A = this chain, B = another copy of it.
């Protein structure tokens, strides 16, 4: 009696292929995988048989045997955030090209859930893990007693022995302010978001570095509150009341910049003629629909995700000690109408 009802069980097995082709099971395996030691005619018979009954190799069995699953875990702290998705896309893209599939786990900011997902991933014998955070603030390490390599993206690990990839926020706002200065501005203000975010602090630092390098000073204090359009509007109103001479505003996010643009418009200040504005994040929905379109800093998040995937690949393959620590990845300036008229 056959172990499986013939011609009905959907996932045909290799032994059925072998039987149909009139060869032994190992020969069928070799034929399917292009290993040597199989005559051309035999190989063809096997391939035809496989085709005929719609054989699909069972990855579970293969993985079990060879000791690697060809899967990785993508552990996000929060899917909601706008920054996670591009990283996800980049990573999925890079892995997809290498026959690796991605388990998506969303811990929703909960440590317990994160541990639970981590355990599930290890049980499934993933070959590696990418941890994606929603902020650039350091996050607790998963630890080093894991049987697989881990790469942290966006939110770096707080353990310097881990490998973390995060955008260079300091360089980003430096770039923005250097651009403003190159545009002939000298009375530059900075409106940004929640001061408890490392991103806010890093970007302020970048602004000040660029100003100092040009022998300039910030006009007014850096203004912190929340990452919202509303705050951008309010802050700009206050700023222009106190410092009407300002001729450029570097913003901590595109949302804030959108609010700033609104207030400038309300006050009759022309952008970029009277005041130049630069955002941060290059969130296209916001930047390309602004009036005028918004110059911004793009963190190349998709590229970041791709690089995280590649770093993990290397760590998986070689199991040699990969370079460690936090790598700050370059960002780029995208110039639009809010800093240069007529584009």
Contacts and interface: CB of A to CB of B under 8 A. Distances in A.
Contact of A289 (B93, B122, B255): B255
Contacts of A56: 119, 122-123
Given A59-B125, A64-B58, A289 B228 contact: yes
Contacts of A106: 89, 92-93, 96
A57 B58 CA distance: 20
A117 interface: yes
Given A88-B79, A99-B120, A262 B291 contact: yes
A113 B57 CA distance: 19
Interface residues of A, number: 51
A171 to B, nearest CB: 26
Interface in A126-154: 147
A104 interface: yes
B289 A259 contact: yes
Nearest to A70: B124
A68 to B, nearest CB: 10
Contacts of A121: 101
A51 interface: no
Given A104-B92, A106-B93, A124 B60 contact: yes
B92 A105 contact: yes
A14 to B, nearest CB: 13
Interface in A82-127: 82, 85, 88-89, 92-93, 96, 99, 101-106, 108, 113, 117, 119-125
B10 A123 contact: no
Contact of A124 (B59, B228, B233): B59
Contacts of A103: 71, 101-104
A339 interface: no
Nearest to A100: B120
A11 interface: yes
A63 interface: yes
Given A89-B106, A102-B104, A105-B96, A285 B125 contact: no
Interface in A165-219: none
B96 A117 contact: yes
Contact of A89 (B80, B96, B229): B80
A74 B255 contact: no
A198 to B, nearest CB: 22
Contacts of A63: 60
Interface string A42-86: 000000000000001111110110000101001000011010010
A332 interface: no
A230 interface: yes
8 contacts: A58-B123, A60-B60, A60-B69, A79-B88, A92-B105, A93-B108, A233-B291, A262-B291
Given A60-B60, A229-B289, 11 more contacts: A11-B125, A56-B122, A59-B124, A59-B125, A79-B92, A85-B85, A92-B105, A101-B124, A102-B105, A104-B104, A255-B289
Per CB-CB distance, the 4 closest pairs between chain A and chain B, nearest first, are: A10-B147, A229-B289, A104-B104, A59-B123
